[in-house]
Amino acid sequence: MLTLEEIKRILPHREPFLMIDRITELTPGISARGVKAVSANEWFFQGHFHEEKIMPGVLIVESMAQVGAVAILTKPECRGLIALLGSIRKARFHKSVRPGDLIMIRTEITAWKDGFGTGQAEALVDGERAASTELVFRVQPRED
Protein backbone atom coordinates (compact mmCIF):
# COMPACT_ATOMS: atom_id res chain seq x y z
CA MET A 1 0.00 0.00 0.00
CA LEU A 2 1.20 3.54 -0.76
CA THR A 3 0.07 6.63 1.10
CA LEU A 4 -0.56 9.99 -0.52
CA GLU A 5 2.92 11.21 0.45
CA GLU A 6 4.51 8.10 -1.07
CA ILE A 7 2.53 8.62 -4.28
CA LYS A 8 3.86 12.20 -4.45
CA ARG A 9 7.42 10.82 -4.41
CA ILE A 10 6.59 8.83 -7.57
CA LEU A 11 4.26 11.15 -9.52
CA PRO A 12 4.89 14.82 -10.31
CA HIS A 13 1.19 15.69 -9.92
CA ARG A 14 0.06 17.93 -7.08
CA GLU A 15 -3.28 19.18 -5.83
CA PRO A 16 -5.64 19.98 -7.36
CA PHE A 17 -4.56 17.66 -10.19
CA LEU A 18 -3.44 14.67 -8.15
CA MET A 19 -6.41 12.39 -8.78
CA ILE A 20 -5.60 9.44 -6.50
CA ASP A 21 -5.49 9.27 -2.71
CA ARG A 22 -3.96 5.87 -2.07
CA ILE A 23 -2.52 2.82 -3.81
CA THR A 24 -3.99 -0.30 -2.22
CA GLU A 25 -2.16 -2.96 -4.28
CA LEU A 26 0.98 -2.74 -6.36
CA THR A 27 2.97 -5.13 -8.51
CA PRO A 28 5.68 -2.90 -10.03
CA GLY A 29 5.56 -2.84 -13.81
CA ILE A 30 2.48 -5.04 -13.92
CA SER A 31 -0.52 -3.56 -12.11
CA ALA A 32 -1.80 -1.22 -9.45
CA ARG A 33 -5.05 -0.58 -7.64
CA GLY A 34 -5.87 2.78 -6.20
CA VAL A 35 -8.57 4.84 -4.56
CA LYS A 36 -10.00 8.30 -5.15
CA ALA A 37 -12.41 9.64 -2.53
CA VAL A 38 -14.62 12.14 -4.35
CA SER A 39 -15.44 15.10 -2.10
CA ALA A 40 -18.26 17.59 -2.63
CA ASN A 41 -15.56 20.27 -2.34
CA GLU A 42 -13.65 19.19 -5.46
CA TRP A 43 -12.69 22.16 -7.64
CA PHE A 44 -14.31 20.73 -10.78
CA PHE A 45 -17.79 20.53 -9.21
CA GLN A 46 -18.02 24.33 -9.28
CA GLY A 47 -18.86 24.18 -12.97
CA HIS A 48 -19.69 20.54 -13.78
CA PHE A 49 -22.58 20.83 -13.26
CA HIS A 50 -23.85 23.39 -10.78
CA GLU A 51 -27.28 21.79 -10.31
CA GLU A 52 -26.23 18.14 -10.73
CA LYS A 53 -22.62 17.53 -9.74
CA ILE A 54 -20.90 14.88 -11.89
CA MET A 55 -17.16 14.19 -12.05
CA PRO A 56 -15.92 14.90 -15.60
CA GLY A 57 -15.07 11.75 -17.53
CA VAL A 58 -11.69 13.12 -18.54
CA LEU A 59 -10.73 13.36 -14.85
CA ILE A 60 -11.83 9.78 -14.23
CA VAL A 61 -9.53 8.76 -17.11
CA GLU A 62 -6.76 10.87 -15.55
CA SER A 63 -7.19 9.02 -12.25
CA MET A 64 -6.88 5.69 -14.07
CA ALA A 65 -3.77 6.95 -15.88
CA GLN A 66 -2.18 8.07 -12.61
CA VAL A 67 -2.69 4.62 -11.09
CA GLY A 68 -1.10 3.12 -14.22
CA ALA A 69 1.79 5.57 -13.98
CA VAL A 70 2.49 4.39 -10.43
CA ALA A 71 2.63 0.80 -11.70
CA ILE A 72 5.09 1.79 -14.43
CA LEU A 73 7.26 4.18 -12.42
CA THR A 74 7.86 1.64 -9.65
CA LYS A 75 9.59 -0.68 -12.15
CA PRO A 76 13.28 -0.53 -11.23
CA GLU A 77 14.34 0.71 -14.69
CA CYS A 78 11.67 3.47 -14.65
CA ARG A 79 12.32 4.95 -11.20
CA GLY A 80 12.89 8.70 -11.37
CA LEU A 81 11.35 8.99 -14.85
CA ILE A 82 8.03 10.59 -15.79
CA ALA A 83 5.17 8.65 -17.40
CA LEU A 84 3.23 10.56 -20.03
CA LEU A 85 -0.15 9.60 -21.40
CA GLY A 86 0.22 8.94 -25.11
CA SER A 87 -3.23 7.72 -26.06
CA ILE A 88 -6.69 6.94 -24.72
CA ARG A 89 -8.50 4.18 -26.57
CA LYS A 90 -11.99 2.76 -26.25
CA ALA A 91 -12.97 4.99 -23.33
CA ARG A 92 -16.41 4.12 -22.03
CA PHE A 93 -18.40 5.77 -19.27
CA HIS A 94 -20.93 3.48 -17.66
CA LYS A 95 -22.04 5.28 -14.51
CA SER A 96 -21.84 8.85 -13.21
CA VAL A 97 -19.41 9.60 -10.39
CA ARG A 98 -20.80 12.01 -7.80
CA PRO A 99 -19.74 13.67 -4.56
CA GLY A 100 -19.31 11.12 -1.79
CA ASP A 101 -18.37 8.28 -4.15
CA LEU A 102 -15.28 6.19 -3.57
CA ILE A 103 -13.66 5.24 -6.88
CA MET A 104 -11.75 1.96 -6.90
CA ILE A 105 -9.30 2.06 -9.81
CA ARG A 106 -7.54 -0.90 -11.41
CA THR A 107 -4.88 -0.54 -14.08
CA GLU A 108 -2.98 -3.46 -15.57
CA ILE A 109 0.01 -2.96 -17.86
CA THR A 110 -0.58 -5.42 -20.69
CA ALA A 111 2.40 -4.62 -22.95
CA TRP A 112 5.78 -2.94 -22.48
CA LYS A 113 8.57 -2.29 -25.00
CA ASP A 114 11.27 0.36 -25.37
CA GLY A 115 9.74 2.85 -22.95
CA PHE A 116 6.17 2.48 -24.22
CA GLY A 117 3.40 0.62 -22.43
CA THR A 118 -0.23 -0.25 -22.90
CA GLY A 119 -2.65 -0.72 -20.05
CA GLN A 120 -6.24 -1.73 -19.41
CA ALA A 121 -7.99 0.34 -16.77
CA GLU A 122 -11.32 0.50 -15.05
CA ALA A 123 -12.92 2.62 -12.36
CA LEU A 124 -15.59 1.14 -10.10
CA VAL A 125 -18.05 2.76 -7.70
CA ASP A 126 -19.91 0.49 -5.28
CA GLY A 127 -18.64 -2.51 -7.25
CA GLU A 128 -20.15 -1.24 -10.52
CA ARG A 129 -18.03 -0.18 -13.47
CA ALA A 130 -18.10 3.61 -13.82
CA ALA A 131 -15.52 3.83 -16.63
CA SER A 132 -13.07 1.72 -18.60
CA THR A 133 -10.37 2.43 -21.16
CA GLU A 134 -7.15 1.33 -22.76
CA LEU A 135 -4.21 3.67 -22.10
CA VAL A 136 -0.87 4.07 -23.84
CA PHE A 137 2.05 5.44 -21.82
CA ARG A 138 5.56 6.52 -22.61
CA VAL A 139 8.33 7.25 -20.15
CA GLN A 140 11.08 9.82 -20.39
CA PRO A 141 13.49 11.62 -18.08
CA ARG A 142 12.04 14.44 -15.99
CA GLU A 143 12.94 17.96 -17.03
CA ASP A 144 13.63 19.32 -13.54
Of 13, 48, 50, 94, catalytic = 48
Confirm if 44 and 59 have CB atoms less than 8 A apart.
Answer: yes
Q: Are 115 and 88 in contact (CB under 8 A)?
A: no
- Residue 48 annotated as catalytic: yes
d(CA 102, CA 59): 14
Spatial neighbors of 99 by CB under 8 A, at least 6 apart, are: 38, 39, 40, 42, 45, 53
Ramachandran region, residue 90 (left: φ > 0; alpha: ψ -120 to 50; beta: rest): left
Measured distance CA(143)–CA(20) in Å, rounded: 23
Backbone phi, psi, residue 11, to 5°: -100, 150
Could you list the active site residues?
Answer: 48
